[in-house]
Amino acid sequence: MPWIRSSIKERLPRNAIVGGRTKLGNTIYVGRAVHNNTEIYPCSVIPAQKAAYIATAGESVFKEEYEVLCGDVYFWDRGHDGEVPSGSLIGGQNASNEQLFIGRASYNGGLYVGTIDPSRGQLFIPYEGGVMKFPVYDVMCVAKCHGCNCFECVIS
């Protein structure tokens, strides 16, 4: 199972996927969290701060519970203007049931994880209470682990 339920009160699994680092050097892991009971957003999990954040509606939203991405079949590829490459990992969906993807970008000395919203054409990163927008970004993708069409091989 690539997504493992967790919270800010728990230790992360050993094979949790690192997505980046804050400007202070704290590790950011790739996660996703439920918002408004029906939406799921990619999130930045920062154990050193006992925090997880999503970017939505122009603000960073703190999440106590989330799922963290685990495994070893993931890699980062490039994307821009809302486009994502083949094999991009679906990280959630918004209120309109549009697929959201996991992205990251460098900003102010850090490498931050956030949400790629193809219909809005950008990556949105939670940052110091607000949201930063990026037209060019990295996209979390899944390598074809066996080519067998199992759940972990077939993503998008």
Distance CA 11, CA 13 (A): 7
Summarize pLDDT for 33-52 with one digit per residue, the tens.
999 999 999 999 999 999 99
27 domain-assigned: yes
Tokens found for residue 95: 């209120």
148 domain-assigned: no
CA 118 to chain centre: 14
- What pLDDT was estimated at residue 143? 87
Nearest of 15, 31, 16, 50 to residue 112 by alpha carbon: 31
73 domain-assigned: yes
Residue where the block lists tokens 């400007």: 23
155 domain-assigned: no
DSSP state of 47: G
- What pLDDT was estimated at residue 54? 98
- What pLDDT was estimated at residue 114? 98
Nearest of 114, 96, 103 to residue 38 by alpha carbon: 96
* Low-confidence residues of the chain: pLDDT under 50: 153-156
CA 57 to chain centre: 16
Write out the residue range of the structural domain in which residue 17 sits.
Answer: 3-142
Summarize pLDDT for 88-104 with one digit per residue, the tens.
999 999 999 999 999 99
28 domain-assigned: yes
153 domain-assigned: no
63 domain-assigned: yes
12 domain-assigned: yes
Count: domains in the chain:
1
